[in-house]
Amino acid sequence: MCYRLLLFCLLPWLAQAQTPPAATLLHPAAVFDGQDLHPGWAVLVENGKITAAGPAAQLTAPAGARTLELPGLTLLPGLIEGHSHLLLHPYNETSWDDQVLKEPLALRVARATVHAQRTLLAGFTTTRDLGTEGAGYADVGLKQAIDEGIIPGPRLLVATRALVATGSYGPHLAAVDDLPQGAQEADGVDGIIRAVREQIGRGADVVKVYADYRWGPGGTAAPTFSQEELTLIVQTARSTGRGVVAHASTAEGMRRAVLAGVETIEHGDAGTPEVFRLMKQRGVALCPTVAATDATSQYKGWKKGQGPTPERVLAKHRAVQAALQAGVTLVMGGDVGVFPHGDNARELELLVNDYGLAPLQVLRAATAGNAQVFHLADRGRIAPGLLADLVAVAGDPTRQVEALRQVRLVMKGGVLYRQP
């Protein structure tokens, strides 16, 4: 057991240690380029980038190139996770409150390094990490460790601490004042401008704001920031060239966030047809995080396939249908961390198996689609000039989403982290 495990753990390190050959020709059964499936295509990688893709007979590898024969495999662009929390682990292991309040920062970071490796080896070569949940700016350091090749992991877009209105977030203990919070509290003109600038100055690639949270009567979700505050957050971030994403599950929280100019809405559970039409008009995408809803409902006792479907799962179904009906772009992101890192494909599987989307639809969204929404013009497709972030899976994921579980090869920037 140890030998196999050791080899598995060391593989990325070996990959890191080796300098990749200047050129690699990949010869799979088919290539999914981010849009369509092309049987018989091959892909040429040189110096960390894709330099050619097309019918195998038309591609010639330069002298000294390594050829990787990948029979039976489909090669696709490295998958892009749209909503992760590398600093969290599943709530059925440790509650969110206990992770934020009781776990030492070093423990959380140590776990996060393992989470990053699992994410990469599952074929997700980029992830948008939406908040450290009380772990400060640890995501910025994690990103640096990956970029410097100290640990294996996906390319990261980080949000750092995220912004919440005072009193709206958690943890809460009525008997204790000034508990550490899972995000940065900020209010009003001066407070908000300062907090956004602080997070950007410390390394945020995107700014995340909680436009609503469960602080209404009886713990119901209710809007947090005013329209003016949200608009100011977006203006402040945008003037530095960064976008804002909003956690929002109420119709009013979503509406305010969309009017403020956020780029994506996370969750969107109680979105109404009107709100989704507004999102479509303003070009705002929805990251539905169906996997998180599915997981937390099961943690709370739902026996999937046996017991009655919980109302929050039904609400999610209504929201996804209404969003699709309105023509809203879907971001693929599961809120992974709520469920295990490396299990990122769960969001795509559920959207196909439980929500009726086509495998091709979710694959396009998790590659070219997410890249477009996140302004990552250098990845998400297989085309000359783009980063050589590639994944090969057994079978045809454009027909059977389950093929995404059969990852056989992972390449990031031309470096192999997993190979058959």
Q: Where are the beta strands (DSSP E) in 226-291?
A: 244-248, 264-267, 285-287
Q: Closest approach of Cβ 335 to Zn ion, in Å?
A: 4
For Zn ion, the nearest residue by Cβ is 335
The window from 326-334, 335-343, 344-352, 400-408 that contacts Zn ion (CB under 5 A) reads 335-343
Count of residues near Zn ion by CB under 5 A: 1
Pick 230 or 292: Cβ nearer Zn ion: 292
Question: In the set 212, 335, 349, 389, which binds Zn ion (CB under 5 A)?
Answer: 335
- Can the peptide bond before residue 171 be classed as cis, meaning omega within 30 degrees of 0? yes
Pick 125 or 249: Cβ nearer Zn ion: 249
What are the distances in angstroms from CA 354 to CA 268, 272, 349, 382?
17, 21, 8, 29
Q: Closest approach of Cβ 85 to Zn ion, in Å?
A: 6
Contact call for residues 370 and 82 (beta carbons, < 8 A):
yes
d(CA 234, CA 341): 30
Q: Closest approach of Cβ 84 to Zn ion, in Å?
A: 8
Order across the sheet with 207-210: list the strands. Answer: 184-185, 163-164, 207-210, 244-248, 264-267, 285-287
Unique residue bearing structure tokens 């539905």: 288
Q: Closest approach of Cβ 26 to Zn ion, in Å?
A: 34
Task: Please list the residues that pair with 184 across neighbouring strands.
Answer: 163
d(CA 42, CA 28): 6
Q: Closest approach of Cβ 287 to Zn ion, in Å?
A: 9
The window from 157-165, 328-336, 377-385, 395-403 that contacts Zn ion (CB under 5 A) reads 328-336
Q: Which residues contact 122 (CB under 8 A, 6 or more apart)?
A: 79, 342, 343, 344, 345, 407
The window from 91-99, 215-223, 313-321, 332-340 that contacts Zn ion (CB under 5 A) reads 332-340
Pick 212 or 335: Cβ nearer Zn ion: 335
Pick 130 or 390: Cβ nearer Zn ion: 130
Any contact of residue 269 with Zn ion (CB under 5 A)?
no
Q: Closest approach of Cβ 72 to Zn ion, in Å?
A: 36
The window from 2-10, 153-161, 333-341, 388-396 that contacts Zn ion (CB under 5 A) reads 333-341
The window from 119-127, 139-147, 311-319, 327-335 that contacts Zn ion (CB under 5 A) reads 327-335
The window from 36-44, 149-157, 301-309, 334-342 that contacts Zn ion (CB under 5 A) reads 334-342
Contact call for residues 170 and 181 (beta carbons, < 8 A):
yes
d(CA 332, CA 199): 25
Q: Closest approach of Cβ 88 to Zn ion, in Å?
A: 8
**Residues of the chain by 3-state class (helix, strand, coil), percent to 5:** 35, 25, 40
Which positions touch Zn ion (CB under 5 A)?
A: 335
